[in-house]
Amino acid sequence: MKILVVGSGGREHAIIRKLKESPKVDKIYAAPGNGGISRDAECVDIGAMDKEGIAKFAKEKEIDLVFVAPDDPLADGMVDTLNYHGIRAFGPVANAAVIESSKVFSKNLMKKYHIPTAEYEVFDDPAKAVEYIEKNDKYPVVVKADGLALGKGVIIAKDHQEAVSAVKEIMEDKKFGDSGNNVVIEEFLTGPEVSVLAFTDGISLKPMVSSKDHKRAYDNDEGLNTGGMGTISPNPYYTDEIAEICRKTIFEPTVAAMNSENRTFKGCLYFGLMITPDGPKVIEYNARFGDPEAQVVLPRLETDLVDIIEAVIDERLSMIDIKWKDEPAACVVMASGGYPLAYKKGIEITGLDEGGQVEGATVYHAGTKYTDGKFLTNGGRVLGVTARGKTLDEALEKAYLAVEKIKFDGAHFRKDIGKTK
């Protein structure tokens, strides 16, 4: 088979490495890919948002399967375009990807189908939002831009003033563009967070092994929210008992709710959960693999990923038995100094070979470029250094051993991955 993976981050690198293990795969292309991906796949210079460009390339090269990994092209209907051209694609169509791209949609869906989530109100008028904040007067309170905002459109306001400025930034200053035409203001929940990714063909749903993301930039969960600074799998808070509650009250009802709305979801559905004192609740849905969740979940997958993808597309997922390795995995993200705010690009990275040689470790590239025989930084999150071990501690030890061998000016990584709640 010839497979084209759309995207350019660490998640896409992890997907490509897993696809490469399949005996069914002859050739992998990445659009646009990155420096590290170019070692594992042929990178083609087509942007991840270029629906027609991707479809044209897929036709020309007789691609058997296109894996659309990032949120924006899914929300923009890349899978619809590919299907229209008769090209097989993995990922939800636009009317199902809306479960991620509109928080107003997902909150209203959960309310309508009684899926546990934080209490909330929706506003399209900043004055009304402020009025509500004043009346509600409970802090912290969570203010969310409706649309996609690179994981940064959520503000946890600790007092009245912060809540009012969050509304202003999102709705009036348009910090996240049109994503902020509407806001969701919701109740602040507490408890450990769990990410559960699941394959679904719209009929059945198969959860993958659980994981935990570390979203804040600095140790002890301080600093700004980022796309994710590191992950572990499994998530120690996700017990079998919690998993069963999630299946009954969240996972299956979500698949059924999307069907009832004529928005059948096929692909990877990501449940961002919080295990609150009142039980598990949904914080957010994503319509795709998480980044860097994919970097710890996929290395644990034993079953051929191509077989699973084909079963999802052909709606026979229930017939497949998906096997996972027991070994835990950990991923430490090495980021550019300054991320998630401004950072420099084009800084040389050394020690990648040494890091990659740590037994059990894999270096996934997120924001790198390969020029003149050198790897250079080319993004906020640069590398996802991942390892498996017999225990989580062993996985973490190996990942950090590999991280210590890799150097670039200004490199920043968290030292407490796997250690915080």
Contacts to ligand AMP from residues 277-296, by CB under 6 A: 283-284
Cβ nearer to ligand AMP, comparing 195 with 204: 195
Contact yes or no for 14/298 (Cβ under 8 A): yes
Told to check if 12 binds ligand GLY by CB under 6 A, we report no
Binders of ligand AMP: how many residues, by CB under 6 A? Answer: 15
Q: CB 194 → ligand GLY: shortest distance, Å?
A: 12
Distance CA 128, CA 304 (A): 51
Amino acid at 324: W
Q: CB 1 → ligand GLY: shortest distance, Å?
A: 27
Cβ nearer to ligand AMP, comparing 89 with 166: 166
Told to check if 310 binds ligand AMP by CB under 6 A, we report no
Q: CB 154 → ligand AMP: shortest distance, Å?
A: 4
Query: Quick one: which segment of 123-131, 202-210, 274-282, 283-291 binds ligand GLY (CB under 6 A)?
Result: 283-291
Cβ nearer to ligand GLY, comparing 229 with 275: 229
Among 213, 299, 333, 403, binds ligand GLY (CB under 6 A): 213
With CA atoms as reference, report the closest residue to 355 among 385, 325, 332.
Answer: 385
Distance CA 296, CA 12 (A): 13
Asked if the bond preceding 140 is cis, omega within 30° of 0, the reply is yes
Told to check if 64 binds ligand GLY by CB under 6 A, we report no
Tokens of 22: 């399949």
Contacts to ligand AMP from residues 134-193, by CB under 6 A: 142, 151, 154, 156, 186-189, 193
Cβ nearer to ligand AMP, comparing 251 with 271: 271
With CA atoms as reference, report the closest residue to 142 among 130, 132, 156, 128.
Answer: 156
Q: How many CA atoms does the CB half-sphere of 224 hold within 13 Å?
A: 11
CB under 5 to 8 A by kind: which of ligand AMP, ligand GLY, none does 291 bind? Answer: ligand GLY
CB under 5 to 8 A by kind: which of ligand AMP, ligand GLY, none does 328 bind? Answer: none
CB under 5 to 8 A by kind: which of ligand GLY, ligand AMP, none does 286 bind? Answer: ligand GLY
Binding mask 129-158 for ligand GLY (x = CB under 6 A): ----------------------x-------
With CA atoms as reference, report the closest residue to 77 among 55, 57, 63, 93.
Answer: 93
Q: CB 186 → ligand AMP: shortest distance, Å?
A: 5
CB under 5 to 8 A by kind: which of ligand GLY, ligand AMP, none does 358 bind? Answer: none
Q: CB 187 → ligand AMP: shortest distance, Å?
A: 6
Give Cα separations from 221 to 9, 154, 218, 261, 371 (angstroms): 23, 15, 6, 37, 35
Distance CA 25, CA 75 (A): 27
Q: Using CA atoms of 44, 45, 46, 48 in order, give the dihedral in degrees to the nearest 10.
A: 90
Among 92, 147, 180, 290, binds ligand GLY (CB under 6 A): 290
Distance CA 41, CA 27 (A): 7
Residues 6+ apart with CB under 8 A from 321: 303
Parallel/antiparallel/unpaired status of strands 154-157 and 141-145: antiparallel
With CA atoms as reference, report the closest residue to 171 among 224, 106, 225, 124.
Answer: 124
- Residues that bind ligand GLY in the complex, under the rule CB under 6 A: 151, 213, 227-228, 286, 290-291, 293
- Residues that bind ligand AMP in the complex, under the rule CB under 6 A: 118, 142, 151, 154, 156, 186-189, 193, 215, 225, 272, 283-284
